[in-house]
Copies of this chain bind each other. A is one copy, B any other.
Amino acid sequence: MAVRMKDIARDLGLSVVTVSKVLRDHPDIGPETRERVLKRMKELNYRPNLAARALVTGRSHIVGLVVPDLLHPFFAEVAKGLSSVFHTKGYNLVISSSEEDAELEQQEIEQLLARQVDAVLVASSQWSVESFRRIEEQKTPYILIDRKFAGLRSNFVGVDDERVGALATEHLIEVGCRTIAHVGGPQVSTAVGRLFGYRHALMRRGVAVSPDYIVEREQRATDASGYQAMVQLLGLDPRPDGVFCYNDPTAIGVMKAILDAGLRIPEDVAVVGCGNARYADFLRVPLTSVDQQSEAIGDRAARLALSVIEAKTPQRPATVLLEPRLIVRESSRRPKPA
């Protein structure tokens, strides 16, 4: 059905080996032979069977990516960055979504390992590191993206999440907020880091933190869960006058709850999100957000993956920590207090 080297070799009275060498630009091949082979390849529209090549070389030229949610713009941007770097190097990207579910993630990773991917990139929803031990056994390189694990010496590319929390919180303090709430995310390193940064910033500035003003959630961080969390926070006395949200979808829900309650943003409550989603600028109230450098993360992760794959000897794990940046928009733009 498909054209094989064998067919070309037969047509030209050559051996398969010769054809194979031409394909891979092997030096010792007669110029005339090379031409004939190349010509015939064009004619027959030959495409090497990458699966067969992978089997013998042990390199599939496939990289696996597991993210919690493809719809989340942050991960979509990372995927896009990865995909463009890999394309130029002849790698393909198998993308799978774990739906923020640890067990599903395990399955996806197993599946990828069985596929003999050359590396696995994961924004993990696990709380244990067991999956990663399995990857290590297989000697497949892996890189954690966005979310990391304290006890795991591994490659990591992401932003400094404590800085994220600190940037957002300090900004809220600076614009005059005194009762600053936090709507957190799932139990992963990013949420923990941002919460820590938030707490730390408040303490450093001598602003009181009451646990009542911190809403952590089991569920996924979406606009629906953000809405619900904010409704709860607005029931407190005094009500918060600033909110730092785990991510932008959460912040959108939070803002909706505030407006639905008849309050103004930022006059009554200032809001800061995280992720700097593309549409943040066009929202009902344009959203101040901490940029996570999604494109840079994709780019750096792809480069790191390639260097690890191409290294002859095992590399020691590298950490790429990018600086987050605060993008101020209307949702927190208030005159600074006197």
Seen from chain A, the residues whose Cβ lies within 8 Å of a Cβ on chain B are 1-2, 45, 47-52, 54-55, 60, 62, 69-71, 73, 76-77, 79-80, 83-84, 87, 90, 92-97, 99, 104, 107-108, 110-116, 134, 137-139, 223, 252, 255-256, 277-279, 282-284, 286
Contacts and interface: CB of A to CB of B under 8 A. Distances in A.
A51 B48 contact: no
B51 A79 contact: no
B115 A51 contact: yes
Nearest to A47: B114
Given A70-B79, A255-B282, 9 more contacts: A47-B114, A49-B114, A51-B51, A51-B60, A62-B94, A84-B97, A92-B96, A92-B112, A252-B279
A157 to B, nearest CB: 18
A286 B90 CA distance: 42
- Closest 5 pairs (CB-CB, A-B): A47-B114, A95-B95, A70-B80, A51-B54, A252-B282
Given A50-B115, A87-B108, A137 B45 contact: yes
Contacts of A111: 90, 92
Which of A48, A277, A284 lies at the interface centre, i.e. has the most chain B CB atoms within 10 A of its CB? A284
A43 B108 CA distance: 20
Task: Count the copies.
Answer: 2
A96 B83 contact: yes
Contact of A113 (B47, B137, B139, B255): B47
A290 to B, nearest CB: 18
Contacts of A99: 84
A139 B282 contact: no
Contacts of A286: 284
- For A54, A92, A104, A277, the residue with the greatest tally of chain B CB atoms inside 10 Å of its CB is A92
Given A71-B76, A71-B80, A279-B279, A55 B51 contact: yes
A4 to B, nearest CB: 12
Contacts of A83: 70, 95-97
Nearest to A84: B97
A110 B50 CA distance: 11
Nearest to A112: B92
Contacts of A252: 279, 282
A266 to B, nearest CB: 15
Nearest to A98: B87
B94 A93 contact: yes
A53 B99 CA distance: 28
